Structure 1
Amino acid sequence: MQSNRGTPLTPSQAASPHAAAVADSSVTRSASQQALILAGVCIAVLVLPLNFGGAAVSAPTIGTALRGSPVAINWILNAFMLSFGSSLMVAGALADLLGRKRVFAVGVALFAATSLGISAAPSLVWVDFLRALQGIAAALVLAGSSAALAQEFDGHGRARAFSMLGTTFGVGLALGPLLAGFLTQTFGWRSFFLADAAIGLTGFALGVPKLRESYDPHANGLDWPGAISFTAALTLFTFGLLQGPESGWSSPLIVALFVGAAVMAIAFVWIEGRVTRPMLDLSLFRYPRFVGVQVLPLATAFCYVTLLLVLPTRFIGIEGHTAIGAGLMMVSLSAPMLFVPLTAAHLTRWMSAGVISAIGLVIAAIGMLWFSGIGFDASATVLAIPLFVIGVGAGLPWGLMDGLSVSVVPKERAGMATGIFSTTRVAGEGMTLAVASAILAVLTRLRLADALPGSPDASAHAVTEAAQRVATGDLAHAAAFLPALGQPVLVHAYDGAFRVLLHMLVAITLASAIMVLGFLGRTPSPTSRDPASPTLS
């Protein structure tokens, strides 16, 4: 899978394993033109990581302002993650089929339009719907930008361009919570999405006009059956996880959702094994080391991404910090992404990428265990230290995963391998967030039920609804369902549930470290791709 310039395909090209670029290479770019194009693309792509962490800070305020149900509040984050993950492979195929520049431009425009729509949304239902569209737009932006830059730059220039794009993601992850906190507290939550739109449109104006168009001459359509079955499986499974605590895990609705997800997953595997040009080539899972690489994004999802999205709810809704204060504390977790991934790349001179990644996961687990022992009355400085340790630990595999995803398979399978990895990463992050949210709600419910005098059966619904409200940081409405308990008891229940959740995440992260060491401990350092190439999460 090579482009016409003889380089491995980018993630956005992964859906088309035989893709080749067709671009007007006769156009000569000056250094200033290339710099302008790169600046425009980076500014446009910046909205993805800004929105990723920033929306988590704004979510509690949005839920309170629009008075949505706990499930609807959870979908503020999950709708974006789910549609992003399930659309990434399709977006790559569309970039090859319709043109990389066109897909990038449509993605940026759609992202800006949905941001404007969210800023004017009259209800939480509209916010969730537009967030789902925004996830599709994010997939188009990431797919189109990666492929378009691969056609604009060659050799060391291409490496530098992707390094700059990777740095942009690090900056966005680090500054997103702080920006969202400042805008939400100063001008209201709608201002954050207005800023999203303004940043995206600025990048569009700078980067899109000068980009060249390029296509895959062999692209002949999309794997629609595969795309539909994959998206349906993810959607049904995630919705079941989010709805389970409210409807009951044995209710007919939840059982039907999980059964439907299993059927769609089986159908997807069956379809992909029989189509001529599959959206996702399952034969790559025959390589044991490639299977090991898929553990890394799931591990970082549990030890980093979940905290990036859940902690703002704790800081704002449970502990009562301001949005700005929560944003400042979240910087401790995300700031290491500015420098640790590049440090990890340098460390590969002395030890294998698999060993470095395993060490990073152990460090992250230590940080989470440390954080779990800190009380709710601790100062921001005390909280910042373990959060920083978690960020450093997660940053080590973060900087190596993309290169590993292609270095552990034959070179001619690099494009599809990267696409599978990207899909595993983004879709896995959405599912781990849903799993963590469901666990937190269930554990909180158990503690609230134990706290009720006599635990009357008539209050079962009230306990369930209150637990859901507490898990989303809405203490005021939770207390209304259980007036006999009071907010201190609700906070105590959340504290105990959150500690257990952290211990579960520690166990998963340590188990992942052992698996990574077993699969990848002797894997050579990745050299086929720049370690700083861009990823959102």
Structure 2
Amino acid sequence: MSATTAEQLKPVEEARGRRGPTLAAVLLAVFVVPMSISGTAVALPAIGADLGASDTALQWVVNAFNVAFACCTLVWGSVADVVGRVRVFAAGAALFAVASAVSALAPGALVLDVARALAGVGGAAIFSAGAAILSTAYEGPARARAFALFGTVAGVGISLGPTLAGQLVATAGWRWVFALHAAALAVALLAVPLIARSVPTSVRGSARVDVVGGLLFVATMVLLTTGIVQASQWGWGSAGVLALFVAAVVALCVFVGVERRSAHPVLDLGLLRERRFVGLALVPVAASFGFVTMLTYLPSYLTAVTGRDGSAAGWLMLLLTVPVLVSPVLAAKLVERGVSATVLILVSLGCLVVGDLGLLLFSPHVSVAVVALPMIVTGAGMGLSAGLVDGQALALVAPERAGMAAGFVNTLRLGGEAVAVAAYGSVVATLTRSGTYDSAFHVVLGGLVVVGLLLGGGVAVLLRRR
């Protein structure tokens, strides 16, 4: 090898050597975000008792984070493409850390709600920029492995969040839940200089941040998600909820009109003409209906209908969550060995439908042996596509649009979860008024199977070869 060639390869090898710390820092930050989503709910009773907060104020401890996260994901992705992914990742992690520290010290519910909203804004930046960083830093099989870990860590965060938060509340108090988030992100921030040296510069010097488009998109998402959140309290047919939905549609129409004329849109509408990209982006929506609803509401069924205590319900839920932790890495290994990613994604959607169909076997006195396989299959359906979808979708777009693409995929993911969970809860509550919780659970679960078939069929059509 010539001296010139060696000099040319040296920066590449140095960048590869920094990928380990880059991956670790991104995954640590990614772990904290879903852990915060699922774990904070466990602390609500203790927060209410300590701060004397009303039920509405307590609900917004969770909802403020979720709404802010869903609203800002796409915007942060677009901003990351313009000003740089590492800068946005660092800004998001810093904002989340500061907001979590404020949450830990909050003297009242209002301060806590505002701090949680700011944490949601930071979490959106972490997810959008973090996925774009991995897409830029890795390629080929290495990218598949990185996104498999991305999906696994996100699954671990959302699965272990309630357990870790419960232990902290019981032993140290609810404030330490948020203090832990702040400490973890402070550690991630220490690796930012290494991340900056391992990721190629992604700043688009000629581009400008689409401020008007961003504000319109945030307004659309705020109106939509607030309507969904409040529907469970006000009713889906209430004047307030309908007004929010109408306003969201109007804001969306204005947003589309503005984006068509923008030189540097927050969302390039041309992405929506890429059939395969849209199909991949819809996979997390199917997973939201088929898996996230079960993760959210099955524990209530286990305690209220089957008579299990909280501990027994928690152990049984491992049948649903453990496959999520294993399947992403398995999917990446299968892709490395030549298995089609499209086939694996379609198998994952099939598992969600078959698993949910099997969960109809649940009854007040059901044996674990009867429902174990459907729960495992449902969890595998979620895990096989987690991470794989993100990597495949971002590989379809130009590197300078990776942040925008990651933001769009995660916006559909978060929006799908909000719609699925809120709709499930609202329909179950309505059906329970005229029947039993057991019958309502089975009716809605049957509806989820139908939704899964429709979404799966649509994705299959979009992903088919031309």
TM-score > 0.5 by shorter chain: yes
1:510 maps onto 2:453 in alignment: yes
- Distance of 2:369 and 2:164 partners within structure 1: 20
- Distance of 1:407 and 1:296 partners within structure 2: 16
- Distance of 1:320 and 1:126 partners within structure 2: 38
Q: Which residue of 2 is the match for residue 105 of structure 1? A: 90
1:405 maps onto 2:393 in alignment: yes
State the 1:278 CA deviation: 0.8
Does the C-alpha gap of structure 1 residues 53 and 110 become closer, same or farther in structure 2, counting only changes over 3 Å? same
Structure with the larger helix share: 2
Does the C-alpha gap of structure 1 residues 238 and 376 become closer, same or farther in structure 2, counting only changes over 3 Å? farther
Q: Which residue of 1 is the match for residue 34 of structure 2? A: 49
Q: Which residue of 1 is the match for residue 194 of structure 2? A: 210
C-alpha contact 1:83 1:133 (8 A) present in aligned 2: yes
- Distance of 2:187 and 2:100 partners within structure 1: 14
RMSD: 3.8
TM-score, structure 1 normalization: 0.72
C-alpha contact 1:358 1:514 (8 A) present in aligned 2: no
State the 1:302 CA deviation: 0.6
Specify the SS of the correspondent of 1:507: helix
Does the C-alpha gap of structure 1 residues 511 and 77 become closer, same or farther in structure 2, counting only changes over 3 Å? farther
C-alpha contact 1:86 1:423 (8 A) present in aligned 2: yes
- Distance of 1:185 and 1:494 partners within structure 2: 30
1:90-489 equivalences in 2 (<5 Å) = 90-121=75-106, 125-148=110-133, 161-205=146-190, 207-212=191-196, 214-218=201-205, 220-312=207-299, 327-347=314-334, 352-376=340-364, 385-406=373-394, 416-447=404-435
C-alpha contact 2:152 2:386 (8 A) present in aligned 1: no
- Distance of 1:325 and 1:203 partners within structure 2: 35
Does the C-alpha gap of structure 1 residues 301 and 74 become closer, same or farther in structure 2, counting only changes over 3 Å? farther
Specify the SS of the correspondent of 1:212: helix
- Distance of 2:296 and 2:185 partners within structure 1: 22
Cα deviations by residue, 1:433-458 (Å, 9 ceiling, x for unpaired):
332233233333444xxxxxxxxxxx
- Distance of 2:305 and 2:179 partners within structure 1: 27
- Distance of 2:86 and 2:126 partners within structure 1: 10
- Distance of 1:412 and 1:209 partners within structure 2: 21
- Distance of 1:444 and 1:65 partners within structure 2: 33
Cα deviations by residue, 1:500-531 (Å, 9 ceiling, x for unpaired):
222221211122222222332448xxxxxxxx
State the 1:339 CA deviation: 2.3
State the 1:154 CA deviation: 7.5
Specify the SS of the correspondent of 1:222: coil
- Distance of 1:499 and 1:63 partners within structure 2: 33
C-alpha contact 2:394 2:402 (8 A) present in aligned 1: yes
Cα deviations by residue, 1:16-66 (Å, 9 ceiling, x for unpaired):
xxxxxxxxx969748775544443343233212322333355457656876
State the 1:297 CA deviation: 1.6
Q: Which residue of 1 is the match for residue 5 of structure 2? A: none
- Distance of 1:417 and 1:144 partners within structure 2: 10
Does the C-alpha gap of structure 1 residues 505 and 185 become closer, same or farther in structure 2, counting only changes over 3 Å? farther
- Distance of 2:61 and 2:308 partners within structure 1: 20
Specify the SS of the correspondent of 1:334: helix
Does the C-alpha gap of structure 1 residues 378 and 63 become closer, same or farther in structure 2, counting only changes over 3 Å? farther
C-alpha contact 2:19 2:195 (8 A) present in aligned 1: no
- Distance of 2:87 and 2:30 partners within structure 1: 15
Identity %: 38
Q: Which residue of 2 is the match for residue 7 of structure 1? A: none
C-alpha contact 1:299 1:512 (8 A) present in aligned 2: yes
Does the C-alpha gap of structure 1 residues 511 and 164 become closer, same or farther in structure 2, counting only changes over 3 Å? closer
1:39 maps onto 2:7 in alignment: no
User: What amino acid is the match of 1:436?
Assistant: Y
Specify the SS of the correspondent of 2:443: helix
Specify the SS of the correspondent of 1:221: coil
TM-score, structure 2 normalization: 0.81
Give the paired residue count.
Answer: 453
Does the C-alpha gap of structure 1 residues 242 and 504 become closer, same or farther in structure 2, counting only changes over 3 Å? same
Specify the SS of the correspondent of 2:196: coil
Does the C-alpha gap of structure 1 residues 317 and 82 become closer, same or farther in structure 2, counting only changes over 3 Å? farther
C-alpha contact 2:277 2:393 (8 A) present in aligned 1: yes
State the 1:342 CA deviation: 3.2
State the 1:194 CA deviation: 2.7
Does the C-alpha gap of structure 1 residues 256 and 369 become closer, same or farther in structure 2, counting only changes over 3 Å? same
State the 1:269 CA deviation: 1.2
C-alpha contact 1:354 1:516 (8 A) present in aligned 2: no
- Distance of 2:138 and 2:194 partners within structure 1: 13
Does the C-alpha gap of structure 1 residues 58 and 522 become closer, same or farther in structure 2, counting only changes over 3 Å? farther
- Unmatched 5+ stretches in structure 2: 1-9
C-alpha contact 2:217 2:252 (8 A) present in aligned 1: yes
Specify the SS of the correspondent of 2:265: coil
Specify the SS of the correspondent of 1:339: helix
- Distance of 1:338 and 1:150 partners within structure 2: 21
- Distance of 1:62 and 1:496 partners within structure 2: 34
- Distance of 1:41 and 1:215 partners within structure 2: 17
1:8-47 equivalences in 2 (<5 Å) = 29=14, 34-47=19-32
Q: Which residue of 2 is the match for residue 456 of structure 1? A: none
- Distance of 2:42 and 2:460 partners within structure 1: 34
- Unmatched 5+ stretches in structure 1: 1-24, 448-492, 524-537
User: What amino acid is the match of 1:358?
Assistant: L
